[in-house]
Structure 1
Amino acid sequence: MIDANSKDHVHSVFESIAPKYDLMNDILSFRRHKAWRAFTMRKMNVQPGQKSLDLCCGTCDWTISLARASVNGETVGLDFSRNMLDIGQAKVDKLGLAKQITLVQGNAMELPFADNTFDYVTIGFGLRNVPDIVQVLKEMKRVVKPGGKVVCLELSKPTWQPFKGIYYFYFEKLLPLMGKWFVRKYEQYRWLPESLAVFPDLQALAELFRTVGLRGVKAYPLFFGVAALHIGTKGTDGE
């Protein structure tokens, strides 16, 4: 859980790092986030005409991938950061996807959409930053269609030594310094290891998917467990 003060802090973090967000993602993940998203898209197998909602869409890279995969399907991106959405909108406009992609400033815990609306509801590298993980998963399940997929791509917790020790040294000590060196944002990037410390590991998050009623839950560790993909399906009976 994240308290109200932390919620405001998270919002200020993402508002402030928005201009350099894409650059820092590339640097801090050694561009692995692109490969992780490509793997996720292959597992999702989005079909032409399918409708998607991308939560915590940030600067909209995944939103754009969903739109392209669906060819002409409606795609919605939602984020609480206006600065992130402004950068994302510029990308969408440049690619000529404005008629297909709609961006919405909103709260992932109170989605402004009707039940059973989307074929896919995704969240990429945002679930660890929400105040209530279970509430967001419930909302994702609510707005996805029966038989639709709830998809989370997120940082996770490696368990294999010695890689685990090396990774945590990098993530907790070097990553904030790199934020300071490259974009002069030390305090903002110190938030990342803090957010991961209280986030569920691979199996615990899979169990939360099941707890909210998602079926056929699959969890894929990525790059020695640095990240993880979770996919759950809403029952065809709507439950």
Structure 2
Amino acid sequence: MGMIKLITELIDKQYGKPQGLLGTYIGEKMVKQHKPETLWTIELLNIVQGESVLELGCGAGYAMKLILDQTLVEQVVGVDLSPTIIRSAAIRNKNGLNAKKATLVQANVNRLPFQDENFDKVLSIHSIYFWENLSETFSEIYRVLKPGGYFVITLCDAKDDEIWEGIKSMIEDRLIPIAKENGFLNVALLKGPKSRQFHTIAVLGHKHL
């Protein structure tokens, strides 16, 4: 049991900050696992021609590639803490990087290295579980969004008939109130598609014009 527990803990850590060969494998595994909610999130963004999009916790760059392939976006920037996973994202988005339409940055989500009012949309898919400080991160999201821009944060809150009370509480008691405290308007919770029996939801909020 000791070895099984050790392996389980190692894999769990890889989801937060993938490293090495195992981290590369985990990154590609997440690409396959999260396709339904990734496509849904991109639909929610409603990207129009000429917009600039920021993804927090970009992982192996699957959402970035879909955005570049499916929309008329001007620029997609992906931020992740893991240099391993950024390498995977760079391989997946080679054409976008070469065309100067994609950029990858290693950084912490609560200290974004971008100018104020730089992006039209901000998205994050299954990354919020690992954010160290929600208030600081939402303050940064608000700062880098242009007036009228908005964020979409996608996550799971249940599996089959099991409601995850910890996640539910985090959303109701912290995520939504913190988004409002940081100035976001029309903060809403939407139900999304099921993904491998997991219940997908998204929280959205707009910055004032």
TM-score normalized with structure 1 length: 0.70
Work out whether residues 54 and 123 of structure 2, in 8 Å CA contact, stay in contact via their aligned partners in 1.
yes
Which amino acid is the alignment partner of residue 15 of structure 1?
Answer: Q
Work out whether residues 46 and 69 of structure 1, in 8 Å CA contact, stay in contact via their aligned partners in 2.
no
1:231 aligns with 2:204: yes
| Unpaired runs of at least 5, structure 2 | 1-12
Distance 1:221 1:198, change over 3 A: closer
Work out whether residues 138 and 182 of structure 2, in 8 Å CA contact, stay in contact via their aligned partners in 1.
yes
Task: Say which SS state the counterpart of residue 18 (structure 2) adopts.
Answer: helix
Distance 1:198 1:232, change over 3 A: closer
What's the CA shift for 1:51? 0.4
More strand by share: 2
Work out whether residues 128 and 199 of structure 1, in 8 Å CA contact, stay in contact via their aligned partners in 2.
no
Work out whether residues 217 and 230 of structure 1, in 8 Å CA contact, stay in contact via their aligned partners in 2.
yes
Q: Distance in 2 between matches of 1:43 and 1:201?
A: 22
1:97 is matched with: 96
Q: Distance in 2 between matches of 1:209 and 1:69?
A: 29
Q: Distance in 2 between matches of 1:71 and 1:163?
A: 39
- Equivalent pairs counted in the alignment come to 190
Work out whether residues 11 and 80 of structure 1, in 8 Å CA contact, stay in contact via their aligned partners in 2.
no
Work out whether residues 11 and 81 of structure 1, in 8 Å CA contact, stay in contact via their aligned partners in 2.
no
1:121 is matched with: 122
2:133 is matched with: 132
Work out whether residues 203 and 219 of structure 1, in 8 Å CA contact, stay in contact via their aligned partners in 2.
no
1:24 aligns with 2:29: yes
1:145 aligns with 2:115: no
Correspondences of 1:35-114 after superposition (within 5 Å) = 35-93=36-94, 96-98=95-97, 99=99, 100-114=101-115
2:179 is matched with: 209
Q: Distance in 2 between matches of 1:220 and 1:12?
A: 24
Distance 1:131 1:10, change over 3 A: farther
1:219 aligns with 2:189: yes
Superposed CA RMSD in Å reads 2.6
Task: Say which SS state the counterpart of residue 97 (structure 1) adopts.
Answer: helix
| Unpaired runs of at least 5, structure 1 | 1-8, 169-195
Work out whether residues 121 and 150 of structure 2, in 8 Å CA contact, stay in contact via their aligned partners in 1.
yes
Which amino acid is the alignment partner of residue 151 of structure 2?
Answer: V
What's the CA shift for 1:71? 2.3
- Deviation digits for residues 194-239 of structure 1, max 9, x if unmatched? xx94674443332332122111112113338733111100011xxx
Correspondences of 1:154-233 after superposition (within 5 Å) = 154-157=155-158, 163-164=161-162, 197=166, 200-204=169-173, 205-222=175-192, 223=194, 226-233=199-206
Which amino acid is the alignment partner of residue 19 of structure 2?
Answer: E
Work out whether residues 156 and 201 of structure 1, in 8 Å CA contact, stay in contact via their aligned partners in 2.
no
Q: Distance in 1 between matches of 2:122 and 2:48?
A: 14
Query: Which residue, out of 18, 39, 48, partners 1:14?
Result: 18
Work out whether residues 202 and 228 of structure 1, in 8 Å CA contact, stay in contact via their aligned partners in 2.
no
Work out whether residues 116 and 146 of structure 1, in 8 Å CA contact, stay in contact via their aligned partners in 2.
yes
